Structure 1
Amino acid sequence: MDAGIAGIKGIGQKKAELLGKRGIKTVKDLLYHIPRDYESECADVKIKDLRENEKCAVTGEILRAPVLRRIKGGRTMASFHIGDETGAVEAVFFNQPYMRGLYKAGQSVSVSGTVKRVGARLQFTNPHVCAPGARSQGIMPVYPLTAGISQRTMRAVVKAALEKHADGIADVFPAGFREKHGLCDINYAIKNIHFPRDEEALRASKRRLLFEELLLFNAALLSRETDRAKNAFRISSGEGTRRRFLDAFGHAPTGAQLRVMREIEEDLAGERAMSRLLQGDVGSGKTMPAFYAMFLCASAGLQSAMMAPTEVLARQHYENAQKILGRFGYNIELLTGSSSAAQKRSVCENAAGGLADIVIGTHALLNGGLRFANLALVITDEQHRFGVNQRAALETKARAPHVLIMSATPIPRTLALILYGEADISVIDEMPPGRSAVGTFVVPESKRADMYGFLEKRISEGDQVFVVAPVIEQSDDDDMISSERIYGELRARFDRTALLHGRMRQDEKNETLRKFRDGEYDILVSTTVIEVGIDVPDAAIMVIENADRFGLAQLHQLRGRVGRGKKKSYCFLMCENKTERL
């Protein structure tokens, strides 16, 4: 099971590298790459009965030899028309130039997939093609993918792995235990979670895998609770300590912030290591309690580490910490991916020698070379951007550290317990004075011109605008609006418009953000690279293109980029039509 996937039929070096990007490196990784969904066999229809956005299949003859064209961005588009006695429809294949050589005029084929409307006509985009009667039957898996790996490829390599290692997984549960709890064996579960024999087999497989995961998860939690109780750093504080910190912070805390600070005081002084989830809307002031926790540790001669998901946010925390905590003489270090080799070496030496009181950074904190002399507190900001393993990797750099997890995404208590175990939960449910709710509106495409008129008016009054698109470049096989397209459209109407995305160099991103923050740009068009860590008080409007393509957590974070000043702020969710989801 621990053998590399390169030995699986259909996986060469290139595919192995692509799968590795999703963390699939061994046979076990591949077999435990669980489908995210399932689809049933497509219904066969006549071409005249095709309907937009329906998943179906048609059988007929290829009317003309397939053609291959080069399109924008160096991509290719192969296509052919298939006809039956009721009509004809086009099948289009992006970046699959080999399709032209696979098929010829007069050949009978079956084409299945989702029908899309392009202009006035319907077409299949990247459909599955096979000989009549050879289509897959029954329930088919739909996998999470990475660029360069199709569903067809993923299904084929998983099937090959199952054939070669059909019964090779050792079951952690003995037969008697499985019988007592009504569980199928692990090899049956793995086979049927990928290619279910029927609905009942799929249900049994899901139940078995969920049961095992939850049982092992709870066992790990119990072990962790034992460690927390045995090895906690105990840190005392009092009214005087809190008053010194608040004097340095510069403004009075809200009632909610003060309540959380007292909870943290009790945690740090207790017999068990703190494990606390701190929730609060964007802009509610979660940073104050987090900095207070680091202040208490530094006052006791202990170290803290704070991890943020982006360099922009890490640098923002670092600069604020220097202003507030630096005045006490504490040594605060910054470690990010763009830090020079000399800077990284210096931070590592200071952390290992106990000379760094606080280290703030990005994923670079997970570097195996970073060691601490007496790390007592680990803080993870914007936790939804990190995986469980990443958070755990930072926590393992200490014996039994106090842990504070910060989140702006509302999480129901029951879900929080599943995600974070027996973590205590604090909620900052009070906004600082002067902050008002952000007006949120769904705007259909037909109202775009009116929305642009509103932007003109607000920009003339000194407001700044974020515009977020889901992708950087436009794609011919998708209807998502790209940041480059909307930038061109807005640049023609608003002179002071800038573009920001993840492919830019870090220094270019920093300079663009600086100019926007300093008011040199009125509009910043971006991808979700600005989801966290951007604090621009004059930014009062957020426009989110293709809003229905974003998850709830992302929408919540993006909306939180505005409403950070005293101006009335707005968030416009753009979509073709108002949807129930929004």
Structure 2
Amino acid sequence: MPLDSTRLRQILEQEKKLDYSNKSVFGGLDLFLANWFGQAVSQISQPSRLKQLRKLYPPAFSYGTLSPQEREKWIDSLLTFVKQDDAPQSSEKVIDTAKESSVARKTLSPQTATAASLDSPVTVIKGIAGALSDRFARLGVRTIRDLLYYFPNRHLDYSRLQTVSQLREGNDQTIMANVWEVRPTLLGGRRSTEATLGDESGNVRAVWFNNPYVARQMKSGDRIVMSGRVKIFAGRPVFESPEWELAEDRELVHTGRLVPLYPLTSGLHQRQVRKLVKSVVDDWASKLPEFMPVQILRRLTLLGLNKAIAQAHFPDDAQLKDHARVRLAFDELFLLQLGVMAKKRKWQTEQPGIPLEIDKAVLERFISSLPFNLTQAQRRVTAEIVGDLSRPVAMSRLLQGEVGSGKTVVALEALLMAVANGYQGALMAPTEILAGQHFASVCSMLAGMGKADSKDESLCVFSGITAKPLSIALLISDVKGSAKKELKEKLLSGEIDIIIGTHALIQKEVGFAKLGLVVVDEQHRFGVEQRSALRQKGYNPHMLVMTATPIPRTLALTLYGDLDLSVIDELPPGRQEIKTKWFSPAQRESAYRFLRKQVLEGHQTFIICPLVEESDSVQAKAAIAEYERLSSQVFPDLRLALLHGRMSAADKERVMVAFHSHECDVLVSTPVVEVGIDVPNATVMMIESADRFGLSQLHQFRGRVGRGAAQSYCMLMAENPSDIGRLRLDIIETTQDGFKLADEDLKLRGPGEFFGTRQSGLPDLRMAKLSDIAILEMARAEATRLFQEDPDLKTSENRPLAKELSRIWPQKSGEWS
């Protein structure tokens, strides 16, 4: 098979211009030549050509040890050799096909070679048997395709070849050397290996702790490439447990290059995984079909898929590694965008929506009955929602707004419009506490507009608001037996106009007479399927989803591309800035004195702990132990309460009611308070192990205070924060804007931690970082363009993309196949 010698010739010509000084490649030519000859051997099938190659590059060859005259002669011989092998470009396609046909011979057993495909289980690969396949399965790797997309976490830069005399303590370094001696030894009472190696500049010692096997694998006289961390011992450099491999006629895998480090699980080891992935990448990456339309690849100058996969694992250099990441990240975000756009179109076109007649009189009466004025942002968002409701296309809108920005008022306006048109509305919240507070809040706001005919813990009925009495119900687990049964019957018969609840609303036995509007609060805590389940309770009802978690606009449009976006970016007048400070361990007593002073002035305080119970593996404050310590040692004279996620709904509700009615002074809680607690008398939020939380979550905690007239405070306690933790604390101290904090949070933590829980129903993101705004915007722009031109992906050039979408979004495969 012809060799790709373009880069080799360029470097050799450059070496000629530099008078054979061994400077055409940084660090010298030897490492580059080892890589090139390693690849060349695997590509040459003619015995005579292979013999010529081995003569040019024997095992102990080192360009660096040659004189300038010897180098000139050797380069001329090599250039003559590669010129004989030049082939026209037109044969490339044939060459690739020939290479692919040899895949079965190289990586698969004879029994599986003919039937294997990218979706075959990894057990068809030589070296992966039952136990090893189980370990890969724990990492989500079950097929050959999965292994190709099993990307390294990072790469070690072992690409710069040095001489022994250039070794310095500290950084990762690479040498090519001869093994003078290797022997088993005892180090710290454990069987280990010790070796002495050298090049023309000197000798170096290497030790492999608790690893006697190296002494069996390496032998005196071997020429090896070795990479790792160097320490100085007794004034001399020593490699400690370095990676190594023979400088043979093949491409380096573990040393002398950018070396991948993969995520592992118990029983898997880096060398083992690296070797397996390298063989699969070499033999199977070329079989991945290119699905991206050619015009997009050209317009964005993206790498081809085959090359991107290979370079993501074993990059030739840092630049190609970055290009590979851009291509693969773009793929993920582009496919995600197309999927959510198709979902939105399906909702809006498969069934007609419910156009609502906007009763402006009811709307204005409600707004004028409120004890406060709406902000301009609330009025703008109301107009956007009302506009959606009046169209014969189902509304799908995401409403973002800080804690206290007034999202519930806007949602209630929409619910009133549904009821005024004879439809029912549903509001789903993530916790029973929050559902209960929504119920209380809605009933309180409507009390100024109409007359309460009846009211109990789970049902309110008002007259004078709409043509017939308006009933609002609460459906949570605390509603028991006959009361729950009666509530469900009224909901099904249409007697209940607005229902507020938790996941209970999507249970099979809950039915509606005429559901017209669905409101989902704290959107990111529900998966796509849960939203859909509630929507399916009606005939394509309008949907409004709300979140108090500020999400950067581009990220929101990417993850929730099926939703239009509204933002309440203005807080009601009078909302104060919450004074925020990070306290060091030495300032803990001062913090406790301040907290006590606030309680003695009649206020209440929160103390947040990251864990429910203490853990040996996590150094963080635990709520139960901290509650007991504070109660007995720090604040024995104050009234403390405990709240955590393992408590029953009834117990949590009882604690919250007690705290809300000021029956206790200090609430020690886990992050369950992140949403759903509104206590205007609370003025202090103390957060233990604050460095363990992300900026967005810290901001949510802080939003629990500052809801009354008194100045409020957020106290961040951190024992020994990491550099990233310290940076987070500095940012939250000085920034009150939730959207700025969300941007910073994405940069520091990434999307998985940003949301706290995985977005069920969305494809996994292996390579994309949602903090990479440039790729996000590029993917959204291209997806929008393609969706406008060919939404069903029917053209011949888009059919491969349709096939890939069906694989990525299996629940939607009917739309593209």
TM-score of the two chains, using structure 2 as the length reference: 0.53
Alignment of structure 1 residues 50-449 onto 2, 5 Å: 63=188, 138-140=258-260, 172-173=291-292, 182-184=301-303, 186=305, 189=308, 193=312, 199-200=318-319, 202-220=321-339, 222-223=341-342, 224-225=344-345, 227-228=347-348, 231-246=352-367, 252-324=373-445, 326-328=460-462, 329-336=469-476, 354-367=494-507, 372-421=512-561, 423-431=564-572, 433=574, 435-449=575-589
Larger C-alpha radius of gyration, 1 or 2?
Answer: 2
Amino acid across the alignment from 1:235: L
CA distance in 2, matches of 1:174, 1:263: 36
Give the share of equivalent positions with the same residue, in percent: 36
1:1-30 Cα deviation digits (max 9, x unpaired):
8899999867799989977xxxx5975996
Which position in structure 2 is the counterpart of 1:553?
696
Q: Cα distance, 1:210 vs. partner?
A: 3.0
Residues 406 and 175 from structure 1, CA distance in 2 versus in 1: closer, same or farther, beyond 3 angstroms? closer
Secondary structure of the structure 1 residue equivalent to 2:394: coil
1:426-482 Cα deviation digits (max 9, x unpaired):
31513255x422111222222111111111111111111111122233344443333
Amino acid across the alignment from 1:385: R
CA distance in 1, matches of 2:472, 2:646: 30
CA distance in 2, matches of 1:544, 1:377: 38
In the alignment, which of 12, 30, 40 is matched to residue 156 of structure 2? 40
Q: Cα distance, 1:502 vs. partner?
A: 1.8
Q: Cα distance, 1:213 vs. partner?
A: 3.3
TM-score of the two chains, using structure 1 as the length reference: 0.71
Residues 314 and 164 from structure 1, CA distance in 2 versus in 1: closer, same or farther, beyond 3 angstroms? farther
CA distance in 2, matches of 1:141, 1:25: 16
* Counterpart check, 1:520 vs 2:663: yes
Residues 33 and 108 from structure 1, CA distance in 2 versus in 1: closer, same or farther, beyond 3 angstroms? closer
Q: Cα distance, 1:571 vs. partner?
A: 0.5
CA distance in 1, matches of 2:379, 2:310: 53
Amino acid across the alignment from 1:513: M
CA distance in 1, matches of 2:172, 2:519: 46
CA distance in 2, matches of 1:486, 1:480: 11
Residues 258 and 474 from structure 1, CA distance in 2 versus in 1: closer, same or farther, beyond 3 angstroms? same
Q: Cα distance, 1:497 vs. partner?
A: 2.3
Alignment of structure 1 residues 478-557 onto 2, 5 Å: 478-491=618-631, 492-495=633-636, 496-557=639-700
Q: Cα distance, 1:560 vs. partner?
A: 0.6
CA distance in 2, matches of 1:163, 1:369: 54
Alignment of structure 1 residues 557-568 onto 2, 5 Å: 557-568=700-711
Which position in structure 1 is the counterpart of 2:91?
none
- Which stretch has the larger CA shift, 224-233 or 346-355? 346-355
- Which stretch has the larger CA shift, 514-523 or 567-576? 514-523
CA distance in 2, matches of 1:389, 1:163: 39
* Structure 2 unaligned residues grouped into runs of 5+: 1-117, 161-167, 174-183, 195-208, 216-227, 230-239, 246-252, 447-459, 463-468, 731-817
Secondary structure of the structure 2 residue equivalent to 1:296: helix
Q: Cα distance, 1:282 vs. partner?
A: 1.1
Q: What RMSD over aligned residues (CA atoms) do the two structures have, in Å? A: 5.0
Q: Cα distance, 1:416 vs. partner?
A: 3.3
Which position in structure 2 is the counterpart of 1:94?
none
* Structure 1 unaligned residues grouped into runs of 5+: 44-48, 67-81, 84-102, 114-128
Secondary structure of the structure 1 residue equivalent to 2:645: coil
Which position in structure 2 is the counterpart of 1:453?
593
Q: Cα distance, 1:557 vs. partner?
A: 0.7
CA distance in 2, matches of 1:504, 1:163: 52
What is the aligned length?
518
CA distance in 1, matches of 2:704, 2:616: 31
CA distance in 2, matches of 1:524, 1:174: 57
CA distance in 2, matches of 1:459, 1:327: 38
Amino acid across the alignment from 2:430: P
Which position in structure 2 is the counterpart of 1:74?
none
CA distance in 2, matches of 1:356, 1:429: 33
Amino acid across the alignment from 1:40: L
Residues 14 and 25 from structure 1, CA distance in 2 versus in 1: closer, same or farther, beyond 3 angstroms? closer
1:11-55 Cα deviation digits (max 9, x unpaired):
799989977xxxx59759966987695253799xxxxx999xx99
CA distance in 2, matches of 1:481, 1:394: 38
